[in-house]
Amino acid sequence: MRMPDQRTRTAAFSLIEVMVAVAIFFGGLFAILMVVSNCLADARHLERPLLDASVVASYMSQTNKLVEGGSSGDLGDLLGDTYNGNPWTAEVLEAETNKLFAMHIVLHGKEANKSVESEMTILLYRPQSPAGSLEGATMHR
């Protein structure tokens, strides 16, 4: 028989135990979020530059005639003042006798210790171009 003034205990967590568990959970959660945030910031520093030689390739490919030789310029001339100080060079050589030209483009970086930022070679077929070195003409410089 049970006495009426005796209270029964049920299995449950106390308020203090719940508060400690929640504090530990959020402490771990914020630590994980801080690590993820630092990893994302480090990954942004490792990103490749937004500018590459394809900008110059698209500009140079708009011509109907190509002449063997070199050319150079600044990206500021092509894209506006925001990109001043990004020089580029392009060398055009006849790749085949059927007016197929190879264009090697180099985009130079702004920093002194980084001489080449991006480079690429593209092939362009331009039938209206004058004869190149493979067709017996002398190279124009």
The number of folded domains in the chain is 2
33 and 60 in one domain? no
Which DSSP letter does residue 109 get? P
Specify the amino acid at residue 39.
Answer: C
Name the average pLDDT for the chain.
80
Q: What is the pLDDT of residue 111?
A: 55
Q: Which residues face 99 on adjacent strands?
A: none
Q: What percent of the chain has pLDDT over 70?
A: 79
Does a structural domain hold residue 5?
no
Express each pLDDT in 73-85 by its tens digit: 888 887 777 677 7
Quick check: 91 and 103 in contact, CB under 8 A? yes
Identify the domain containing residue 25 by its residue range. 13-47
- List beta partners, residue 101: 94, 124
Rounded to whole angstroms, the Cα distance separating 131 from 137 reads 6
* pLDDT, position 134: 72
pLDDT band, residue 136 (cuts 50/70/90): low
In a domain, 99, yes or no: yes
- 35 part of a folded domain: yes
**Nearest to 105, CA basis, from 141, 67, 64, 52:** 52
Closest CA to 118 of 26, 53, 32: 53
What confidence tens digit (pLDDT) does each residue in 17-65 have? 999 999 999 999 999 999 999 999 888 877 765 677 888 888 888 877 8
Chain segment 73-128, per-residue pLDDT in tens: 888 887 777 677 788 889 988 887 778 889 999 888 765 455 667 889 999 888 87
Q: Which of 31, 47, 63 is the last residue in one of the domains? A: 47
pLDDT band with cut points at 50, 70 and 90 for residue 141: very low
Beta-strand (E) ranges in the chain? 69-74, 87-96, 100-108, 116-125
